[in-house]
Structure 1
Amino acid sequence: MSSKCPVSYPFPWAPAPDVPADWRSMREGPLLDITLPSGDPAVLVTRYKDVRRLYADERLSRNWARHPVSRISASNDLFADPEIDNDPPRYLVERGIVMRAFSHRRLEALRPVVRQITGDLLDAMEAEGGNEAELMEAFAFPLPILVICHMLGVPPQDRGKFRTLIDGYLSVSKLSDEEVERCRVQYWDYLSELIATKRADPGDDLISDLIKVNAEDPDKLTDHQLQHWVKTLLIAGYVTTASQIGTGMAVLLHRPAVAAELKADLSLVPSAVEELLRYQIMGTSLGSLRYALEDITLQDGTVVPRGSTVLLSVESNMDEEVFTDPTTLDIRREDNHHLTFGAGIHFCAGAALARMELQEATAGLLRRFPGLSLAVPGEHLVRPVGGFLAGYAEIPVKW
Structure 2
Amino acid sequence: MAEAREVEPLSYPLTAPSALEPARRWAELRETCPVAQVRLPSGDTARLLTRYDDVRTALSDPRFSREGLARPDAASVSAADAESVFDSPMARTLNAQGHTRWRRMVGKWFTAKRMTALRPDVEAMAEQLVDAMVARGRPADLVTGLAFPLPVYVICRMLGVPESDRDRFKSWSDIFLTTTRHTAEETRDAQREFAAYMTHLVEGKRAEPGDDLLTLLMTGADGAGEPMEHDALVATGQALLLAGHETTAGFIALMVAHLLADRRRWERVLADPGLIRTTVEESLRYDPNGANFGMLRYAEEDTELPGGTVPAGTTVVCSMASANRDEHAWDDAHAMDLGRRPNPHLAFGVGPHSCLGQPLARTEMQGALAVLLRRLPTLDLAVDAAELRAHEGLLTAPLRELPVTW
Q: Is the TM-score greater than 0.5?
A: yes
For the 8 Å contact 1:134–1:397, the answer to whether it is kept is yes
Q: Which residue of 1 aligns with 2:110?
A: 102
Q: CA deviation at 1:178?
A: 4.3
Q: TM-score, normalised by structure 1?
A: 0.92
* Partner residue of 1:71 out of 48, 68, 76: 76
For the 8 Å contact 1:26–1:46, the answer to whether it is kept is yes
Structure 2: gaps of 5 or more residues = none
For 1:86 and 1:296, locate their aligned partners in 2 and report how far apart those are by CA, in whole Å.
27
Relative to structure 1, the CA distance from residue 213 to residue 7 in structure 2 (aligned partners, 3 Å threshold; closer, same or farther) is: farther
Q: Which residue of 2 aligns with 1:352?
A: 359
Amino acid in the other structure paired with 2:13:
P
Q: Which residue of 1 aligns with 2:245?
A: 238
For 1:284 and 1:111, locate their aligned partners in 2 and report how far apart those are by CA, in whole Å.
24
Relative to structure 1, the CA distance from residue 65 to residue 93 in structure 2 (aligned partners, 3 Å threshold; closer, same or farther) is: same
Please identify, of 325-334 and 76-85, the stretch whose mean Cα deviation from structure 2 is larger: 76-85
* Partner residue of 2:315 out of 293, 309, 320: 309
Q: Which residue of 2 aligns with 1:196?
A: 203
Amino acid in the other structure paired with 1:290:
R
For 1:122 and 1:187, locate their aligned partners in 2 and report how far apart those are by CA, in whole Å.
30
* Partner residue of 2:13 out of 10, 23, 40: 10
Q: CA deviation at 1:186?
A: 1.0
Relative to structure 1, the CA distance from residue 254 to residue 105 in structure 2 (aligned partners, 3 Å threshold; closer, same or farther) is: closer
For 2:38 and 2:173, locate their aligned partners in 1 and report how far apart those are by CA, in whole Å.
27
For 2:286 and 2:391, locate their aligned partners in 1 and report how far apart those are by CA, in whole Å.
19
Is 1:172 the counterpart of 2:179? The answer is yes
For 2:30 and 2:96, locate their aligned partners in 1 and report how far apart those are by CA, in whole Å.
30
For 2:95 and 2:56, locate their aligned partners in 1 and report how far apart those are by CA, in whole Å.
17
For the 8 Å contact 1:283–1:389, the answer to whether it is kept is yes
For the 8 Å contact 1:281–1:391, the answer to whether it is kept is no
For 1:378 and 1:170, locate their aligned partners in 2 and report how far apart those are by CA, in whole Å.
26
Amino acid in the other structure paired with 1:268:
L
Q: Which residue of 1 aligns with 2:154?
A: 147
Relative to structure 1, the CA distance from residue 213 to residue 309 in structure 2 (aligned partners, 3 Å threshold; closer, same or farther) is: farther
Is 1:370 the counterpart of 2:377? The answer is yes
For 1:206 and 1:102, locate their aligned partners in 2 and report how far apart those are by CA, in whole Å.
11
* Partner residue of 2:100 out of 83, 92, 97: 92
For 2:266 and 2:114, locate their aligned partners in 1 and report how far apart those are by CA, in whole Å.
32
Is 1:293 the counterpart of 2:300? The answer is yes
Correspondences of 1:269-288 after superposition (within 5 Å):
269-284=276-291, 286=293, 288=295
Say how many residue pairs are matched: 395
Give 3-state SS (helix, strand or coil) of 2:323's partner.
Answer: helix
For 1:383 and 1:98, locate their aligned partners in 2 and report how far apart those are by CA, in whole Å.
32
For the 8 Å contact 2:299–2:311, the answer to whether it is kept is yes
Q: TM-score, normalised by structure 2?
A: 0.91
Correspondences of 1:209-220 after superposition (within 5 Å):
209-213=216-220, 217=226
Q: Render the CA deviation track for 1:102-158: whole Å, top value 9, x for unaligned.
A: 1344323322210110110011111112x3211111111100000110111102332
Q: CA deviation at 1:282?
A: 2.6
Amino acid in the other structure paired with 1:110:
L
Q: Which residue of 2 aligns with 1:395?
A: 402
For the 8 Å contact 1:58–1:87, the answer to whether it is kept is no
Is 1:33 the counterpart of 2:57? The answer is no
For 1:362 and 1:369, locate their aligned partners in 2 and report how far apart those are by CA, in whole Å.
10
Identity of aligned residues (%): 39
Q: Render the CA deviation track for 1:214-260: whole Å, top value 9, x for unaligned.
A: 99757xx4433322222111111100000001111112211122222
Q: CA deviation at 1:87?
A: 7.3
* Partner residue of 1:255 out of 254, 262, 275: 262
For the 8 Å contact 2:294–2:319, the answer to whether it is kept is no
Structure 1: gaps of 5 or more residues = none
For 1:69 and 1:212, locate their aligned partners in 2 and report how far apart those are by CA, in whole Å.
38
Amino acid in the other structure paired with 1:40:
D
Q: CA deviation at 1:82?
A: 6.3
